[in-house]
């Protein structure tokens, strides 16, 4: 115990002198890291803002039905210069659309598989898997389409996924399973005008399959 305040102050001074380097290092670590973190956050915000401008220009070009020679440089800018932003991943999906328009299925598959391995967003991974399943269906590769659908992380939430399941079951001549899948697609589809045509088409398919399944059961 210290007898006087002066002795206590002197002891504190001596302790600070002995540990001065450690104290300075701790302050530098704490406040330096804080400053670096702030700088890092600012950098990412600025990158996202720049990417947003490019993505907006890309969407504008697509809405105007611009040619790939006009859209490809913007997609390249997003994927190469802003790869860690969500806009780059969305641009990859648009890139796939362009590749499929030009019958470049192999390139589209490669782009989608890359997106699955790079994105942290489960929804984007599932969108990529659904696109891969649709490509496989178009190529009459039912087993590959089935595998991509089975790999979905949110299996019950996508009406498109249920529709593809219905198409797969139809190809496998399992009409009851196809009918059930189309009914699930109807349940999962939002009640919005944009989905009305989809729901009408799916309803017509499910009714046709129900009739065909019934006819098969009667025939047997």
pLDDT tens for the chain, residues 1 to 220: 545 555 555 555 565 556 555 655 555 555 454 444 454 454 456 777 787 888 888 778 776 776 767 778 888 888 788 777 778 888 888 888 888 888 889 999 999 998 898 888 888 889 899 999 999 999 999 999 999 999 988 766 688 888 899 889 888 888 888 888 888 888 888 777 767 777 777 778 778 777 877 777 766 6
Residue written as token pair 């009305």 = 196
What is the distance between the alpha carbons of residues 149 and 54, in angstroms, rounded to a whole number? 32
Per-residue confidence (pLDDT) for residue 155, from 0 to 100: 62
Per-residue confidence (pLDDT) for residue 113, from 0 to 100: 94
Per-residue confidence (pLDDT) for residue 39, from 0 to 100: 45
DSSP string spanning 104-145?
-HHHHHHHHHHHHHH---HHHHHHHHHHHHHHHHHTT-HHHH
What number does CATH give the domain 48-155? 1.25.40
Per-residue confidence (pLDDT) for residue 37, from 0 to 100: 44
Residue 156 is given by DSSP the state T
CA geometry: angle at 91 spanning 88 and 95, to 5°?
A: 135
Are 51 and 85 in contact by the 8 Å Cβ rule? The answer is: yes
pTM: 0.65
The structural domains of the chain, with segments of one domain joined by +, span 48-155, 156-220
């Amino acid at each position: 115990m210290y007898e006087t305040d002066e002795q206590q102050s002197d002891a504190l001074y001596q302790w600070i002198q002995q540990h001065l380097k450690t104290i300075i290092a701790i302050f530098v670590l704490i406040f330096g890291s804080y400053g670096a973190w702030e700088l890092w956050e600012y950098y990412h915000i600025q990158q996202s803002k720049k990417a947003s401008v490019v993505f907006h220009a890309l969407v504008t070009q697509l809405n105007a039905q611009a040619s790939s020679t006009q859209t490809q440089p913007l997609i390249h800018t997003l994927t190469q210069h802003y790869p860690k932003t969500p806009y780059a991943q969305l641009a990859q999906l648009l890139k796939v659309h362009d590749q499929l328009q030009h019958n470049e299925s192999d390139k589209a598959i490669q782009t989608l598989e890359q997106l699955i391995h790079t994105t942290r967003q489960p929804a984007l991974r599932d969108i990529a898997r659904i696109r891969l399943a649709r490509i496989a269906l178009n190529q009459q590769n039912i087993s590959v389409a089935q595998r991509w659908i089975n790999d979905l992380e949110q299996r019950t939430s996508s009406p498109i996924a249920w529709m593809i399941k219905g198409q797969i079951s139809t190809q496998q001549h399992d009409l009851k399973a196809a009918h059930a899948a189309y009914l699930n697609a109807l349940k999962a589809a939002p009640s919005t005008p944009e989905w009305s045509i989809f729901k009408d088409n799916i309803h017509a398919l499910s009714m046709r399959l129900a009739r065909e399944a019934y006819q098969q059961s009667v025939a047997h």
